């Protein structure tokens, strides 16, 4: 099989718990780029917060905000903002229940209270630099939402229509934190639209991920790899299981396909 595109999740897939990545991961990426394979970062993170990592890995194409925005070599391929009505409902619920949130536009991340302990912890965990307090002025520009301090029995409060799904953010010491996903906006859908633009078939693609927000991505691509450290519920949706992020899982998976040495 001749492969043409690789999609890589970031946290728990490229990045280890200490925010570093293996030199073998960087080497694997470069080996594929040298073969003419397109490499994308495919993440729940906002794209404006991962440019430094992308530069260090020599990557300039992205699936961001869990699939709400896709960029191929500076060209926007997917741009799926949330409805202003949905955003305002989410804000109202979080205020009523005294939850925290962060909302993402294509330029900044807006916290309910940027100085709260939960917000600071979240910001530090994801090394966020472009943050402000949320105002309704940006309600029509939101690409994604993460809510914090939400107990298990409170999750249904945010599932205000059938298109809303909550995916737990399991990174380092974060607890009771969920990405607000839309069933028709996910990494898999964004990849599908991106491949149509590039005239690449799903069979010609590879992806690596570790969280439930990677489910649709791993199901859609030809060769989907769940990291050894992945959420156990993810394994059923991946064609392959590789080693953990601390054991060069990306390199080892690509080696299994005969693409790196």
Q: What is the pLDDT of residues 46-99, one digit of tens each?
A: 999 999 999 999 999 999 999 999 999 999 999 999 999 999 999 999 999 999
Residues 212/231, Cβ–Cβ less than 8 Å: yes
Write down the CATH number for the domain with range 84-182.
3.30.1240.10
Look at domain 5-80+185-256 and name its CATH class: alpha beta
Which tens digits make up the pLDDT trace of 93-136? Answer: 999 999 999 999 999 999 999 999 999 999 999 989 999 999 99
Give residue limits of the domains in the chain: 5-80+185-256, 84-182
Interacting residues of 193 by C-beta distance below 8 A, sequence separation 6+: 70, 77, 78
DSSP summary character for residue 245: G
pTM over 0.85: yes
Tokens of 100: 């925290």
Domains 5-80+185-256 and 84-182 share a fold: no
Residues 15/50, Cβ–Cβ less than 8 Å: no
As beta bridge partners, residue 41 has 8, 62
Residues 230/204, Cβ–Cβ less than 8 Å: no
């Amino acid at each position: 099989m001749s492969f043409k595109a690789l999609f890589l999740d970031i946290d728990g897939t490229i990045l280890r718990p200490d925010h570093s990545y293996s030199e073998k991961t960087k080497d694997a990426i470069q080996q594929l780029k040298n073969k003419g394979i397109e490499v994308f970062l495919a993440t729940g993170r906002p794209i404006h917060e991962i440019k430094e990592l992308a530069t260090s890995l020599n990557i300039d194409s992205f699936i961001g905000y869990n699939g709400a925005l896709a960029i191929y070599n500076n060209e926007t391929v997917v741009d799926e903002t949330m409805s202003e009505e949905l955003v305002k409902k989410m804000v109202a619920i979080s205020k009523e229940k005294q939850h925290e949130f962060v909302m993402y536009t294509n330029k900044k991340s807006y916290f309910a209270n940027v100085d709260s302990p939960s917000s600071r912890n979240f910001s530090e965990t994801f090394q966020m630099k472009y943050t402000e307090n949320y105002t309704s002025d940006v309600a029509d520009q939101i690409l994604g939402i993460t809510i914090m301090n939400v107990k298990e029995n409170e999750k249904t409060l945010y599932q205000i229509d059938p298109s809303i799904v909550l995916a737990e953010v399991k990174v380092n010491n974060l607890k009771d934190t969920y990405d607000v996903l839309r069933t028709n906006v996910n990494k898999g859908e964004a990849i599908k639209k991106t491949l149509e633009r590039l005239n690449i078939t799903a069979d010609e693609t590879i992806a690596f991920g570790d969280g439930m927000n990677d489910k649709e991505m791993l199901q859609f691509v030809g060769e989907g790899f769940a990291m050894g450290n992945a959420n156990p519920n993810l394994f059923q949706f991946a064609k392959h299981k590789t080693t953990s992020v601390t054991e060069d899982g990306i390199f080892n998976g690509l080696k299994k396909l005969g693409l790196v040495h």
